[in-house]
Amino acid sequence: MQWIPTILIAAACASAQPPAIATGTAVGSRIPAFEATDQTGKLQTFESLRGPSGLVLEFVRSADW
């Protein structure tokens, strides 16, 4: 009968989840206004890039940064 509490403790520890870490903005929230220079040197904003279906921005970080 001594092994039952040990098994229950192990099962309780195994099912514990680490706290969630918030990264980025919440889904559905508005992005802040931004300006960035494109590859031709032209200043672009969200409004200048957005099309009729919206805009997908992908940020890639290389190992050279």
Q: Where are the domains of the chain?
A: 34-65
Position with higher pLDDT, 56 vs 7: 56
**Beta-carbon-side half-sphere exposure of residue 7 (alpha carbons within 13 Å):** 4
Total-model pTM: 0.44
Note the pLDDT of residue 1. Answer: 47
Which pLDDT band, with edges at 50, 70 and 90, does 20 fall under? confident
Residue 28 tokens, joined: 């559905």
Mean pLDDT confidence for 56-62: 77
pLDDT reported for residue 40: 94
CA-wise closest residue to 31 among 55, 61, 48: 55
Report percent pLDDT > 90 for the chain. 17
